[in-house]
Amino acid sequence: MKILIIGNGGREHALAWKAAQSPLADIVFVAPGNAGTFLEPGVQNVDISSTDINSLVNFALKEKIDLTIIGPEKPIIMGIVDKFRDVGLNIFGPTKSASQIESSKFFCKKFLSRHNISSANYKYFTEIKPAISYINTIPLPIVIKADGITGGKGVIISTNIKEAENIVKNMIQGNLFGDAGKRIIIEEFLYGEEVSFIVMVDGKNILPLATSQDYKRIGNNDTGLNTGGMGSRSPALLVTAKIYQNIMDLIIYPTIFGMLLEDNMYTGFLYAGIIINELGQPQVIEFNCRLGDPETQSLMIRLKSDIVDLCFAGCNKTLSKKFINWDNRYALSLVLTSKGYPSYYINDEKIYGLPKKSFSHSKIFHAGTSLNGNQFITNGGRVLCITTIDRNTKMLQKRAYKIAKSIYWKNIYYRNDIGYC
């Protein structure tokens, strides 16, 4: 089979790495890929942007691609699944209509309300004055969300009224997130611990992946701005058998069957960001219409089943016949970034110290990297992701940071508190 992975981040490198291990895969293409996928055995980069839908369709038709797996949300929200299906190509992901569960926070909140799925109380605003009036009537902290897509950075939690008012003004005026932030959701703050609960869906059948957690804030002890993710771990030890079943019964099943009832069938990966409160009850923070990054890296290193076989079954609506095997060891992912991310950062810095040998227990997934001759250089905010696996959580953390300390570029930055407590 010919496989196409769409995207250029650490998530896509992890998917390509795992797909290339499949006995079903003859070759894995990545569009556009990065320096890591360029060097990955059995993988070939394709110089097509992940948002150039027409060129991707033409490439897939020309190469007779058997299966396409999408990494980032943008092409999904642009309707790549609809376009591929229109010409008879297998692609695992949700339609443009179904992807509104991520592309519009307001759509998602209304959907959750209609189907009695627990989430934070909220109000929706498009004008500054009523939004500021509302802020002054609710307790701190205040959660302010851009309605549209912001690459995982569009949620700001404020503990100060004046700060919250300025955030609202800048969002609605388009100064923070452009058009994506001109419509906002203001939510109550939910207390508890967050987990990432990702499932595969073929329209009706649901196959859960292993549990995971990510570290969203840029600073140690979960401080500072939201990012796309500074690290992850799998499994999420907080999720007991009872909590797991509650998530399935109270959130996942009602969501998938709710989409069906509304004639908006969901296929692909569905990522539920969930808060577990002090009573062990799950509440939805957000839905994403794709795999998480860097959760994918921690999941792929633990996955023992064939990702190609699973995604192909998802396309053919036969997930009910599949079972996923997982390595029972713990996985940890540590993201190395360019200093200044998620705001302004410098590209084109030389990367030194990348290990020349491969490890049986660890893998370095590339994200914002490119090659200048034989020299790796930075080409993005999140640059590398060190993923490692072990039975001992302390050894896991020690190993990840040992590898991180061997890698250098001028403006390297990473958190120093990623790991199991």
Q: Are residues 138 and 179 in the same domain?
A: yes
Q: Are residues 19 and 58 in the same domain?
A: yes
Distance CA(188)–CA(151), nearest Å, equals 22
Q: How confident is the model at residue 152 (pLDDT cuts 50, 70, 90)?
A: confident
Give the pLDDT score at 25. 99
SS3 annotation, the chain: CEEEEEECCHHHHHHHHHHHCCCCCCEEEEEECCHHHHHCCCEEECCCCCCCHHHHHHHHHHHCCCEEEECCHHHHHHCHHHHHHHCCCCEECCCCCCCHHHHCHHHHHHHHHHCCCCECCEEEECCHHHHHHHHCCCCCCEEEEECCCCCCCCEEEECCHHHHHHHHHHHHCCCCCHHHHCCEEEEECCCCEEEEEEEEEECCCEEECCCEEECCEEECCCEEEECCCCEEEECCCCCCHHHHHHHHHHHHHHHHHHHHHCCCCCEEEEEEEEEECCCCCEEEEEEECCCCCCHHHHHHHHECCCHHHHHHHHHCCCHHHCCCCECCCEEEEEEEEECCCCCCCCCCCECECCCCCCCCCEEEEECCEEEECCEEEECCCEEEEEEEEECCHHHHHHHHHHHHHCCECCCEECCCCCCCC
Domain with 398 in it: 330-413
Q: Are residues 80 and 125 in the same domain?
A: no
Q: Are residues 293 and 392 in the same domain?
A: no
Distance CA(45)–CA(370), nearest Å, equals 12
Averaged pLDDT, 365-385: 98
Give the pLDDT score at 347. 97
- The total domain count for the chain is 4
Averaged pLDDT, 133-160: 92
Give the pLDDT score at 357. 85
For residue 276, the domain's CATH number is: 3.30.470.20
Q: How confident is the model at residue 147 (pLDDT cuts 50, 70, 90)?
A: very high
Q: Is residue 419 part of a domain?
A: no
Q: What percent of the chain has pLDDT over 90?
A: 97
Least confident interval from 100-104, 222-226, 235-239, 329-333: 222-226
Give the pLDDT score at 356. 87
Q: How confident is the model at residue 205 (pLDDT cuts 50, 70, 90)?
A: very high
Q: Are residues 212 and 177 in the same domain?
A: no
Q: Are residues 272 and 365 in the same domain?
A: no
Q: Is residue 280 part of a domain?
A: yes
Averaged pLDDT, 282-287: 97
Least confident interval from 91-100, 151-160, 401-410: 151-160
Averaged pLDDT, 273-281: 96
Q: Are residues 61 and 142 in the same domain?
A: no
Q: Are residues 201 and 220 in the same domain?
A: yes
Averaged pLDDT, 249-255: 99
For residue 82, the domain's CATH number is: 3.40.50.20
Q: How confident is the model at residue 55 (pLDDT cuts 50, 70, 90)?
A: very high
Average pLDDT for the chain: 97
2-40 tens-digit pLDDT: 999 999 999 999 999 999 999 999 999 999 999 999 999
Q: Are residues 12 and 80 in the same domain?
A: yes
Distance CA(376)–CA(96), nearest Å, equals 36
Q: Are residues 204 and 163 in the same domain?
A: no
Averaged pLDDT, 198-209: 98
Residue with tokens 């999420």: 236
| Res. 254: pLDDT tops 80 | yes
- 204 with 270: CB under 8 angstroms? no
pTM of the model: 0.96
Q: Are residues 199 and 249 in the same domain?
A: yes
Q: Is residue 132 part of a domain?
A: yes
Averaged pLDDT, 310-335: 98
Averaged pLDDT, 30-55: 99
Give the pLDDT score at 358. 87
Residue 285's contacts (CB-CB under 8 Å, 6 or more residues apart) are: 119, 120, 190, 194, 273, 274, 275
Give the pLDDT score at 294. 98
Q: Is residue 101 part of a domain?
A: no
